[in-house]
Amino acid sequence: MMVKRWRITLACAGLALGAASAQAQHPTSGLAFSPFYVAISVQDIEAMSAFYVDKLGFKVEKDAALGQALHFRWLTNGAERVELIQMAGSQAGPARGKPPGHLTIRGFTHLGIETPNIEATKAALLAEGVTLTTDISTLAPLGMKAMFVTDPEGNAIEIIQRLPG
């Protein structure tokens, strides 16, 4: 019985090796990614959740802790998922200016979310008391219209509508 198990393990290892070498011959095959989420390290997970849920229409998909040090919350709206991470002892990141000034500090600068109707999204945000950081502008070279809002901890969110054509 032990021998049989051992053989199966070997056979599986052989299959795995075969798969790995096939992968090596076509190194980029199978490398098509989908967005999973964009993660934000936060100071106050409750205040941040309240903004994404109450103002931007996200729903809590998952809430989990990893010991005492890490608290995760997944928020989703349609095809967008944001992961909030509250880590014990985390420190404030750099204060980024108003877009496009927020780009002067390198690193992840903003999340881009698509809406089918930017005017309707703007109206809904204003009705919720959200102030736009920058109003709707057309970015012709990018084929889109966009506006920015900022979450309570200063993270920029770009809301985008594709231009026709």
Partner 1 sequence: MKTFLFPLLAGAALAGSAAGHAKAAPELGHWMVALSVANLDTETEFYKKLGFKVALDTKFGPGIPVRWLTSGNERIELLQIANSKPPATPRAKPPGHAAVQGYSQMTLSTRDIAATKAALAAQGLTPALDITEVKPLGIKVMYYQDPEGNAVEIAQKL
Min separation Cβ 9 and partner 1, Å: 16
Min separation Cβ 66 and partner 1, Å: 6
Positions 50 through 69 that interact with partner 1 (CB under 8 A): 56-57, 62, 64-66
Judged by CB under 8 A, the residue of 8, 11, 14, 117 near partner 1 is 117
**Cβ proximity of 132 and 148 under 8 Å:** yes
- Which strands make up the sheet holding 134-139, listed edge to edge? 134-139, 144-150, 156-162
Size of the residue set binding partner 1 (CB under 8 A): 78
Longest dimension (CA), the chain: 70
Min separation Cβ 24 and partner 1, Å: 5
Between 11 and 90, name the residue whose CB sits nearer to partner 1. 90
**Does 49 engage in binding with partner 1 (CB under 8 A)?**
no
Number of neighbouring beta carbons within 10 Å of residue 101: 9
Kindly compute the dihedral angle of the four CA atoms of residues 133, 151, 35, 80, in this order, to the nearest 10 degrees: -90
**Does 38 engage in binding with partner 1 (CB under 8 A)?**
yes
**Does 152 engage in binding with partner 1 (CB under 8 A)?**
no
Between 49 and 160, name the residue whose CB sits nearer to partner 1. 160
**Does 14 engage in binding with partner 1 (CB under 8 A)?**
no
Q: Which residues pair with 158 in a beta bridge?
A: 112, 148
H or E element, residue 160: strand 156-162
